[in-house]
């Protein structure tokens, strides 16, 4: 599957889908990833159709509390359904367990929350994006618990190799290849970016990221999103897109 353009790369803000579609077409992409639920839903839907682009996925960022997940995902699931692409990426990088409960109990509560969302939104699929720093709830172990407890639900991993590498460097979990190997059958999409000095969204050139091996482990049908921020120039984005398309067929 070809790379999608993430609206995170818009200097004007990532919640304008129509502008994201226009930029994607200018830069040679055929698909768009909405980094936030779009504020211009009708206009964005028309722009996608007029430009012959598809929406690969739509993302929602959850704050640190499990009890706020439903509200955030509800706000994303409506636009996703309207855009006929009911794949919502749930970024859980800030999520922590309540200090009064164990990690196991927090994962059980998260699982119950997901069941409620699937009941409200038939056809919805959720791709969970784990943290990049130690001390957050959803690391490798907790993701394994959660997905193992929901074998028949449309929930899976939003594979983020750069974040997995950050956890490995912090000695807080295994590296990207271990994530890809363990969760290959449950991977619903892949974020392509590098870490830089912070949480990521820079040019995907981290030492230690073996994109070629990852390609062989991950599902061919899962969306690949070039999830870089506006710090990259248009020329940089085009160069990365061409390199990954030529090198990996994305």
**How many angstroms separate the CA atoms of 146 and 130, rounded?**
12
What is residue 196's predicted lDDT score, i.e. its pLDDT? Answer: 80
Q: For the chain, which domains are there?
A: 3-248 (3.20.20.150)
Angle between helices 140-148 and 103-120 (to 10 degrees): 50
Cα–Cα distance, 195 to 165 (Å, whole number):
9
Q: Tell me, what's the pLDDT at 199?
A: 65
What's the whole-number average pLDDT of the chain? 94
Model confidence pLDDT, tens digit, residues 186-230: 999 999 999 887 668 999 988 889 999 999 999 999 999 999 999
Q: Which residues of 40-59 are buried (b: 16+ CB within 10 A; e: fewer)?
A: ebeebbebbeeeebbbbbbb
Tokens of 160: 């983020």
With residues binned 3-state (H G I as helix, E B as strand, rest as coil), the percentages for the chain, rounded to 5, are 45, 15, 40
**What is the percentage of the chain residues whose pLDDT exceeds 90?**
90
Phi-psi bin for 196: left (phi > 0), alpha (psi -120 to 50), beta?
Answer: left
Number of CB atoms found within 10 A of residue 202's CB: 19
157-161, 175-179, 180-184, 201-205 — which is least confidently predicted? Answer: 201-205
Above pLDDT 70, what percent of the chain?
A: 99
Give the distance from CA 180 to its chain's centroid.
14
């Amino acid at each position: 599957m070809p790379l999608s353009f993430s609206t995170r790369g818009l200097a004007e803000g990532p919640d304008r889908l129509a502008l994201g579609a226009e930029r994607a077409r200018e830069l040679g992409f055929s698909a768009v990833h909405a980094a936030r639920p779009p504020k211009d839903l009708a206009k964005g839907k028309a722009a996608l159709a007029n430009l012959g682009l598809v929406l690969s996925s739509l993302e929602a960022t959850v704050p640190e509390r499990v009890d706020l997940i439903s509200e955030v995902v509800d706000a994303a699931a409506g636009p996703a359904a309207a855009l006929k692409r009911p794949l919502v990426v749930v970024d859980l990088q800030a999520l922590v367990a309540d200090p009064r409960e164990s990690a196991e109990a927090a994962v059980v509560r998260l699982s119950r929350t997901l069941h409620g969302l699937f009941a409200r939104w038939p056809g919805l699929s959720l791709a969970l994006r784990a943290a990049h720093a130690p001390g957050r709830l959803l690391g490798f172990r907790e993701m394994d618990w959660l997905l193992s407890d929901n074998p028949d639900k449309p929930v899976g991993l939003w594979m983020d190799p750069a974040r997995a590498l950050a956890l490995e460097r912090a000695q807080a979990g295994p590296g990207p290849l271990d994530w890809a190997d363990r969760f290959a059958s449950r991977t619903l999409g892949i974020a392509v970016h590098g870490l830089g000095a912070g949480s990521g969204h820079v040019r995907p050139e981290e030492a230690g990221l073996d994109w070629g091996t990852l390609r062989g482990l991950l599902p061919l049908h899962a969306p690949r999103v070039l999830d870089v921020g506006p710090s990259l120039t248009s020329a940089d984005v085009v160069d990365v897109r061409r390199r990954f398309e030529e090198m990996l067929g994305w």
